[in-house]
Amino acid sequence: MDSKSTVVWQGSLKAGQGKITTESGALKESVYTYGTRFENNPGTNPEELIAAAHAGCFTMAVTDELGSAGITPEQITTIAKVTLSTDGNEPEITQIHLDVSAKLPSGDPEAAEKFEKAAQTAKKNCPVSRLLNADIVMDTHVQS
């Protein structure tokens, strides 16, 4: 299965802008610029899209792992924060922090332990985690 996105950039790095479009249409000419990437201006940037991809992939993998442990979660929420360091000569993605919470059905006294194991396995094995070479850190939370 292939997924495709197209970016069109016009102009110089600092004065120009890019437009990102995904084949599915989820993004259609979404604008990003030097300012959206390095100056916290409104708009998207590649790191935000990596964070979205990682959070989505990881959350599905946690759900799958929990299913293998006999648990169907009521809800899983993952926040992925990608850190882009501008120290040194070249910008570099230095870390991805996954913060994951799960609302689990009551009745299984080992649910929190199973959730932690599922999250750790998903962190190592989801396809986006395997793709990335950044330091991936994570917090897990069980909601009551």
Strands 135-143 and 92-103: parallel
What does the alpha-carbon distance between residue 45 and residue 43 come to, in Å, rounded to a whole number?
Answer: 7
Query: Taking 90 as the threshold, does the pLDDT of residue 116 lie above it?
Result: yes
What does the alpha-carbon distance between residue 144 and residue 55 come to, in Å, rounded to a whole number?
Answer: 22
Q: Name the strand (E) or helix (H) holding 32.
A: strand 30-33
**Same domain flag for 21 and 89:** no
**Same domain flag for 57 and 120:** yes
What percent of the chain is predicted at pLDDT more than 90? 83
For tokens 């899209």, the residue is: 49
Query: Taking 80 as the threshold, does the pLDDT of residue 22 lie above it?
Result: yes
**Same domain flag for 23 and 79:** no
Q: Supply the range of the domain harboring residue 132.
A: 46-143
**Same domain flag for 78 and 127:** yes
From the list 10, 50, 17, the residue with the least C-alpha distance to 36 is 17
Interhelix angle 111-125/46-68, rounded to 10 degrees, is 130
**Same domain flag for 30 and 61:** no
pLDDT in tens, 86-106: 888 889 899 999 999 999 998
* Structural domains in the chain (count): 2
**Same domain flag for 125 and 73:** yes
Mean pLDDT of 109-133: 94
The pTM of this model reads: 0.89
Mean pLDDT across the chain: 93
**Same domain flag for 71 and 125:** yes
**Same domain flag for 63 and 19:** no
Higher pLDDT, 108 or 116: 116
